[in-house]
Amino acid sequence: MAIVEVAQLVKEFDSGKVRAIDGVSLATNEGEYLVLLGPSGCGKTTLLRTIAGLEQPTSGDVLINGQVVTALPPRARQIAMVFQSYALYPHKTVRGNIVFPLRAAKMAPAERERKTTWAAELLGIGHLLDRKPRQLSGGEKQRVALARALVRDPQVFLLDEPLSNLDAKLRASARDELKRFQQEVATTTIYVTHDQVEAMGLGDRIAVLNNGTVRQVGPPTEVYDDPADTFVATFIGSPPMNLVPNDGKLVGFRPEHLLPASVVGADALQVKLAVDRMEYLSGDRHLYGTATGAGEKSRVIARLPATVTSEVHAGETYDFAINRNRLRYFDASTGLRTQP
């Protein structure tokens, strides 16, 4: 296991006109599953590639277990990276792909075979060793890429959106496999994704990035329940957090906390909700409408779980409420969290 740290990392492109990473300082815990989450172009893949040594920073340092590795080539950093494309050799079998880095390291044949078999069995692909990549499903290719990385005994796994090529159903099962795999091998893992569902399901902690900077780092429940700013509040969550202007501040609350007044406790903010339309999604009802009472008249979304049986119809206005301990406040000009 290892601790990976970046210190005041800056990466510029186009002679300094584009700053992909803007002074990022971040450290993993030992054996942690850290997810880098953010929209396309936020700098998360550039940060991962800089940790791997595939990009050289403009300034700042990369450290692994306290040792500065900024000037070291990728092969000297004891990291293994799995790419979005899996990068398998199409002319080699699964066995040939997994064993390739061991051949390159001139490992003895018997040890190569032992490690290849061990990694294949761990990832449930022992029966596929003689197949070519074209004969595999997307999920099987992903496991081959992981096995090839695993046999190198890396200190750190770096995963760059490895599930993005899979369909929605397969991604769900692959997330479970990835989490169990990481827990079993107990190797520090940094995982890049733009998918908040992956981030919330996989990460011990999530680092939310935007415009080359880290906006918040914390456990999934923390970044969801207590966002540091309005970007995190609206980027994480589906539907996103409601933000209602009120006296120079923004009052934030999650859609699932805007509920019929009859099911909310006494210490609550009362709201009139004029419902425009409804959506039925996975047993929940999403209500889209206009709220008054939390601040200025604003468009909001309420999410009613199946357990809330109140009758609600589009075109009607209802008494809703939000428990006050669920309200979050942000500065309207900076977007940063503030006090009520």
**Mind listing the pLDDT tens digit for each residue in 147-177?**
898 888 889 999 998 877 777 777 777 788 7
According to the model, what pLDDT value does residue 149 have?
86
- The model's confidence at residue 124, banded by pLDDT at 50, 70 and 90, is confident
According to the model, what pLDDT value does residue 192 have?
95
Mean pLDDT confidence for 29-40: 95
- Please say whether the beta carbons of 162 and 129 come within 8 A: no
Token pair listed for 34: 């850290």
Question: 113-117, 134-138, 176-180: lowest mean pLDDT where?
Answer: 176-180
- The model's confidence at residue 99, banded by pLDDT at 50, 70 and 90, is very high
CA distance 166 to 159: 15
pLDDT single digits (tens) 231-250: 999 999 989 999 999 988 99
According to the model, what pLDDT value does residue 223 have?
97
According to the model, what pLDDT value does residue 237 have?
92
According to the model, what pLDDT value does residue 161 have?
87
CA distance 290 to 64: 51
Question: 189-193, 213-217, 270-274, 306-310: lowest mean pLDDT where?
Answer: 306-310
According to the model, what pLDDT value does residue 311 have?
86
Greater confidence (162 vs 113) lies with 113
* Cβ-based neighbours of 109, under 8 Å, separated by 6 or more: none
According to the model, what pLDDT value does residue 258 have?
96
- Please say whether the beta carbons of 28 and 48 come within 8 A: no
- The model's confidence at residue 75, banded by pLDDT at 50, 70 and 90, is confident
Q: Select from 13, 82, 31, 29 the least CA-distant residue to 52.
A: 82
pTM comes to 0.88
CA distance 37 to 208: 5
End-to-end CA distance of the chain: give it in Å, rounded: 42
Q: Is residue 114's pLDDT more than 90?
A: yes
Q: Select from 211, 212, 213, 191 the least CA-distant residue to 200.
A: 191
According to the model, what pLDDT value does residue 152 have?
84
State the sign of the Cα–Cα–Cα–Cα dihedral 102, 65, 39, 176: positive
Domains and CATH numbers, the chain: 4-225 (3.40.50.300), 239-338 (2.40.50.140)
According to the model, what pLDDT value does residue 105 have?
84
Q: Select from 190, 167, 158, 19 the least CA-distant residue to 81.
A: 158
According to the model, what pLDDT value does residue 220 have?
97
- The model's confidence at residue 140, banded by pLDDT at 50, 70 and 90, is confident
Q: Is residue 201's pLDDT more than 80?
A: yes
Strand extents, DSSP E, 139-267: 156-160, 188-193, 205-210, 213-218, 242-246, 249-253, 259-260
Mean pLDDT confidence for 318-327: 96
CA distance 331 to 247: 10
